[in-house]
Amino acid sequence: MRRIIRAFSPSKIILFGEHAVVYGYPAIAMALNLGTRVTLKESPERSMKILSENYNIEWNVFNEEPPPIFKPFKRIIDVIAKKFPKKVNALKGIEIHISTQAPAASGLGTSASTAVAFTAAVLKYLGISLSANLINEIAYEAEKVSHGRPSGIDNYIATYGGVIKFTRNEEGPRIERLNVENELPLLLVYTGVERKTKEAVEYVAELRKKLPSFIDGIFDIIGEISERVWNMFKNRNMDLEMLGNLMNINQGLLSAIGVSSEEIEKVVFALRKAGAIGAKLTGAGIGGCVIALFKDWSKAINAKERIQRDYLCLIAKPQNRGVYVE
């Protein structure tokens, strides 16, 4: 009987702290029940094939160069081969199918959730102990291929789940993790415009050079918001009304530093009109997704029915469980 291994890894949202996190302020990220599913199947052929169901692309790993979207998988295979040279020959004779629930280039950490689920499935097939630290380490190498100098937030949250406070410093990132104990009725709306991380980060850096006291003043407020929200999670004292207010303030601050856009603002105001108590961009901005918070799930579902005529909408819930293999 041919073996089948299934792995799932969550996507994520940045709740608070975008852009300020680059300059040492905390960011709050949360795993979602949306994510990437990887199915590894044994095959009678002496080859290793990877198939993306979203893009309808196939790569024969040992016989051809990877398409651009599969280059992170090549890095994962190379890292595993280097760490476990006696195991890698067993990969000849499998097919790996990849399916993502979140749109790519939307700021939801799709590349990281894919890398984490792929890594976990391959390690499981090879009989290697599924250490979360090892999965996270290997997936981070794939993220370097995708993003150059990634922060490490996305692969960490995809591996461990929950909600984290992430702070960069010279010694490396400082990460605190908690389980989400509160109901957070969230709606994700994709603007239809790909997020532009590099462009947004470079724009903010240039603006900060010209107006350092103004931009750092804005980052001070964003950092204070992140700390306040983290304390809500930590103390299990989630005030949805306050959280919504802080989301709206944070959106205004992100707009002030130039990383919102006409399309993002259009979605934000449509969501508020549909009943959201808070709405803001998530991730680098300029494109990508908007997240909206509601008082209860019925209001989130009603808003989805109104907004989805014009945009891709996804109901999202916090996910405390990180990557897992069945």
Known catalytic residues? Answer: 154
Alpha-carbon gap, residue 49 to 59, rounded angstroms: 6
Rounded Cα distance, 257 and 183, in Å: 31
Residue for token pair 């204070």: 224
Alpha-carbon Rg for the chain, nearest whole angstrom, is 20
Residue the block writes with tokens 């009109």: 273
Closest CA to 2 of 38, 45, 66: 45
CB atoms inside a 10 Å sphere around CB 312: 15
Six token digits for residue 309: 């005529």
**The dihedral sign for the CA sequence 268, 271, 273, 277:** negative
- In sign, the C-alpha dihedral spanning 257, 262, 264, 266 is positive
Count of all residues that appear for the chain in the document: 326
Residue 9, Cα to own-chain centre: how many angstroms? Answer: 10
CA gap 85, 79 in Å, rounded: 10
SS3 (DSSP) at 275: coil
Phi, psi of 77 (to 5 degrees): -60, -40
Tell me, what DSSP letter sits at residue 53? T
Place of tokens 């959280």: 243
